[in-house]
Structure 1
Amino acid sequence: MADSQERPIIVLGCPRSGTTLLQLMLHAHPRIAVPPETRFVTSVYWHRKRYGDLREPDNLRGLAEWIVRTKKTRFADLGLDAEETIDEIVNGPPTLGSALGTVFRRYARKFDKPRWGDKRPAYHHSIPQLARMFPDAQFVHLIRDGRDCVGSLKNMSWYRGDSYAAIATWAEAIDNGRAAARELGSGRFYELQYEQLIGDPEGELSALCGFLGEEFHPAMCEPHQVAGIAVPKRKKHHANTHREITKANSGAWRERLEPWEISLCETVLGRRLKRNGYELSGAPRPSAAHLTHYVRVSTRRSLSWRRRQLRDRVWRLNEPSGLVAAVPGGKRPDSTPTETSNSDEG
Structure 2
Amino acid sequence: MATRTRPVFVLGCPRSGTTLLQLMLHAHPRMALPPETRFVLPAYESRLGFGDLRDDGNRAALARWITARPQTRFDELGLDATAVADRIAVGPPTLGSALGVPLRAYAERHGKARWGDKRPAYALHVTEILRLFPDAQFVHLVRDGRDCVASLLGMPWWHRGFHEAVATWAQVMDVTRRCARRLGPDSWHELRFEDLVADPEGRLRALCAYLGEEYDPGMAEPYRLAGTAVPARKTWHRRTHGALDVSRAGSWQLRLTPDQIRLCEAVLGERLLRHGYGLSGAVPPDPAELLRYRKVAALRAAARVKRHTVDRLTRLREPGPVASVPI
Give the TM-score taking structure 1 as reference length: 0.93
CA contact (8 A) 1:125 1:173 kept: yes
**2:108 maps to 1:109:** yes
Deviations 1:190-221 (CA, angstroms, capped at 9, x unpaired): 10000000010000000000000000000000
CA contact (8 A) 2:170 2:268 kept: yes
Deviations 1:268-314 (CA, angstroms, capped at 9, x unpaired): 00000000000000011001110010010010111011111111011
CA distance in 2, matches of 1:292, 1:62: 47
Partner of 1:307 in structure 2? 306
Deviations 1:124-177 (CA, angstroms, capped at 9, x unpaired): 110000011000010000000000000000011111110100001101111111
Partner of 1:126 in structure 2? 125
Partner of 1:232 in structure 2? 231
**2:27 maps to 1:23:** no
Instruction: Give, as a single letter, the amino acid of the residue that structure 2 aligns with 1:250.
Output: A
Q: Percent identity?
A: 54
CA deviation after TM superposition for structure 1 residue 258, in Å: 0.9
Partner of 1:176 in structure 2? 175
Instruction: Give, as a single letter, the amino acid of the residue that structure 2 aligns with 1:311.
Output: V
CA distance in 2, matches of 1:79, 1:69: 13
CA distance in 2, matches of 1:183, 1:52: 31
Deviations 1:31-69 (CA, angstroms, capped at 9, x unpaired): 000000001110000111110111111111111101111
CA contact (8 A) 2:52 2:320 kept: no
Between 312-321 and 13-22, report the one with greater CA deviation. Answer: 312-321
**2:321 maps to 1:326:** no
Q: Any unmatched runs of 5+ in structure 1? A: 330-346
Instruction: Give, as a single letter, the amino acid of the residue that structure 2 aligns with 1:326.
Output: S
Runs of 4+ in 1 over 4 A off after TM superposition: none
Partner of 1:78 in structure 2? 77
5 Å-filtered alignment, 1:140-179, equals: 140-179=139-178
CA deviation after TM superposition for structure 1 residue 321, in Å: 3.5
RMSD: 0.8
Deviations 1:307-335 (CA, angstroms, capped at 9, x unpaired): 1111101111221342x100112xxxxxx
5 Å-filtered alignment, 1:206-217, equals: 206-217=205-216
CA distance in 1, matches of 2:310, 2:45: 10
Instruction: Give, as a single letter, the amino acid of the residue that structure 2 aligns with 1:294.
Output: Y
CA deviation after TM superposition for structure 1 residue 5, in Å: 3.5
CA distance in 1, matches of 2:280, 2:102: 46
CA distance in 1, matches of 2:86, 2:243: 40
Instruction: Give, as a single letter, the amino acid of the residue that structure 1 aligns with 2:45.
Output: W
CA contact (8 A) 1:141 1:191 kept: yes
Instruction: Give, as a single letter, the amino acid of the residue that structure 1 aligns with 2:199.
Output: D
CA distance in 2, matches of 1:116, 1:5: 10
5 Å-filtered alignment, 1:261-272, equals: 261-272=260-271
CA contact (8 A) 1:6 1:328 kept: no
CA distance in 1, matches of 2:136, 2:205: 19
CA deviation after TM superposition for structure 1 residue 91, in Å: 0.9
Deviations 1:63-85 (CA, angstroms, capped at 9, x unpaired): 11011111011000000001000
Instruction: Give, as a single letter, the amino acid of the residue that structure 1 aligns with 2:224.
Output: Q
CA contact (8 A) 2:4 2:213 kept: no
Instruction: Give, as a single letter, the amino acid of the residue that structure 2 aligns with 1:318.
Output: R
